[in-house]
Structure 1
Amino acid sequence: MIRIAYSDRYLLNLPGDHKFPIQKYALIKDQLLYEGTITEDNLYDAGICTDEQVLAVHTEEYWYKVKNLLLNEHEIRRIGLPLNQRLVERSLSSSCGTLKAADYALDNKISFNIAGGTHHAFTYKGEGFCVLNDMAIAACWLMKTQGVKRILIIDLDVHQGNGTAEIFRNEPNVFTFSMHGKDNYPLKKEVSDLDIALPSYMNDDAYLSILAEQLPKLFDSHKPDFVFYQAGVDVLATDKLGKLSLTRQGCRKRDELVFDYCLKLRIPVAVTMGGGYSERMADIVEAHCNTFRTAFAMLE
């Protein structure tokens, strides 16, 4: 059974005009249940991460300031979300969702977190709606407790996974791959193990051709025994912040390519949602739901 982490802690009360579409998480869950792609049995609440799990990735100074609500105005503005106890709990819950999804993927091939993908969180700072780096926390957990030796992070959000790149820049057992918009946030890019910066307004065919060329090289060169897949849907042409021109069908084909390699090589994969900022919430939810539908169809 494909297990899917979800918690009402993922939700925040934000102003109606806020850029971060926090309500999408509940809508994704509700849509998948309504259409019968999943049942309540697929869902679970992972709980929250421990200090030890957080501190395997983030500095003591940064984590102390976050959990005690001591970030200054500049640091809060850089994250882009109001700092309060609810945000701290949400960050711990979302990170634990990815950690538990990784555990489940070891036995079930593919597992999901309906949130996660907070790849702009560095060891020592947060930014871009990201407080804690959930994939990094989960990757460190796998290597420490589950005997996982080599991890590949496939980050296909439209924004570079700059925080993830910084966290693992000196870790040879974690390969960071980010395929993102060249002219998009963050203005200053970090150096991943492999970065592919795409020109603005790239369409389905060009995007999928590059991805199809790179995936076999990644698996052949790094030989991972676990994959994290950041499946942001801000690559869509409808996205307000994306600057790429993929259709929903192209986005779904992207997911299919990633899952096909993982399944063919029998490498477990934990999937996180990442970004999505289309004008219509329906476009965001539908594209995210396609990632789940694709995985379920390929495992039938």
Structure 2
Amino acid sequence: MEKYSRLRDLVGELPNLFLIEAPAASDTQLLYAHDPSYLLRVVNGSLSEAEQKEIGFPWSEKMVERSRRSAGATIAAAKTAMQEGISGNLAGGTHHAYRNRGSGFCVFNDAAVAARTLQKEINSKLKIAIIDLDVHQGNGTASILQHDSSIFTLSMHGENNFPFQKEVSDLDYGLQDGCDDQTYLQTLNECLDQLDSRFKPDFVIYLAGADPHEDDRLGRLKITKEGMRLRDETVFQYGLDQNIPIAFSMAGGYGKEIASTVEIHFQTIQTALQFQMRY
């Protein structure tokens, strides 16, 4: 959790960037992607011990508030990006949350909630792509949106990493342990080409996980800091070339040293800011 406050402190010093307090997602917005009975159990604190164990931390009122604001921040970033080209959530990326349960430190699925909220509140015909580059597959996102042809789910992740039982995204690419910069970036470009040929989105939600980095405790990949910068640049360049707004979230990051994870996340923000000024 400490990485979030450290990142916030660094980002607060950047020029030409505005920090806005994360709003809380409403019940209505959360229900665009979640089951009413699950939402009720989260809100009133009646999650079972097994459900809390699967999420990974105990229930509390602060947990509920933080989860609402994590989803609300991605919604706010998405709406801002519609106006300004690029906007981001300093947390979020909670892609293991399913429609009816939380999992892997994820309570509400902010990407699915934000995508559906844009369609419900801004433009019902909006075609949205979720580009998930966390090292773990976006299994909850794939499950929630599996029958929704208006939202394309792309997950490029470690094949041998959590979750060990994968869901089916619209486009999955499982990377082998030890994957290097060259292979990673080549694969990413191929995935973006497929996305463009198969779907042609109007909007992108990007999960910029720091955990593909070589110093991550859980990642198993060998992507350098420069490789991570080029990854972010590739996604933002795709949006710029296609004139597609991008909302992004930080997603995972579990560095052996917390500073390395914060540096990767901060690098994503800096790269986004460079591209935002070109929109």
Determine if the TM-score, normalized by the shorter chain, exceeds 0.5: yes
CA distance in 2, matches of 1:178, 1:222: 15
Cα distance per residue 1:173-210 (max 9 Å; x no partner):
00000000011000110000010011001011111111
Mapped to 2, the partners of 1:47 and 1:130 lie a distance apart of 18
- Given the alignment of the two structures, is residue 82 of structure 1 paired with residue 58 of structure 2, yes or no? yes
Matches of 1:107 and 1:297, distance apart in 2: 17
In the alignment, what sits opposite 2:206? 229
Mapped partners of 1:152, 1:52: distance in 2: 22
TM-score between the two structures when normalised by the length of structure 1: 0.90
Find the aligned partners of 2:263 and 2:144 in 1 and give their Cα distance.
Answer: 32
Distance verdict in 2 for CA 1:37–1:183, change over 3 Å: farther
State whether residues 153 and 227 of structure 1, in contact with CA within 8 Å, keep that contact through their aligned partners in structure 2: yes
Q: SS of the counterpart of 2:33?
A: coil
Corresponding residue for residue 197 of structure 2: 220
Asked if the contact 1:47–1:97 (Cα under 8 Å) also holds between the matched residues in 2, the reply is yes
| 1:149, distance to aligned residue in structure 2 (A) | 1.9
Where 1:43 maps in the other structure, the secondary structure is coil
User: Aligned with 1:120: secondary structure?
Assistant: coil
Q: Does 1:139 align with 2:119?
A: no
Q: Number of residue pairs matched?
A: 276
The 3-state SS of whatever aligns with 1:44 is coil
**Residue number in structure 2 paired with 1:197:** 174
Which stretches in structure 1 are left out of the alignment for 5+ residues? 1-21
Q: Are residues 299 and 141 of structure 1, via their aligned partners in 2, closer, same or farther at CA, if it must alter by over 3 Å?
A: closer
1:175-194 equivalence runs, <5 A: 175-194=152-171
- Asked whether the equivalents of residues 169 and 193 of structure 1 are also in contact (C-alpha less than 8 Å), the reply is yes
Tell me what 1:27 maps to.
6
Aligned: 1:46 with 2:46: no
Percent of residue pairs bearing the same amino acid type? 45
1:127 match: 103
1:237 is displaced (CA, Å) by 1.1
The residue type equivalent to 1:194 in the other structure is: L
Q: Which amino acid letter does the alignment assign opposite residue 190 of structure 2?
A: E
Show structure 2 runs of 5+ residues with no match: none
C-alpha distance in 1, partners of 2:203/2:276?
18
- AA at the equivalent of 1:122: Y
Cα deviation 1:40-67 (Å, max 9, x = unaligned) = xx01013211111111111011111111
Given residue 177 of structure 2, which amino acid in structure 1 is its aligned partner?
A: S
CA distance change for structure 1 residues 236 and 37 in 2, over 3 Å: closer, same or farther? farther
Could you list the per-position Cα deviations for residues 260-286 of structure 1 after superposition, in whole angstroms to 9, with x for gaps in the alignment? 010111100100000000111110000
CA distance in 2, matches of 1:110, 1:237: 27
- SS state at 2:146 partner: coil
Q: CA shift at 1:38, angstroms?
A: 5.2
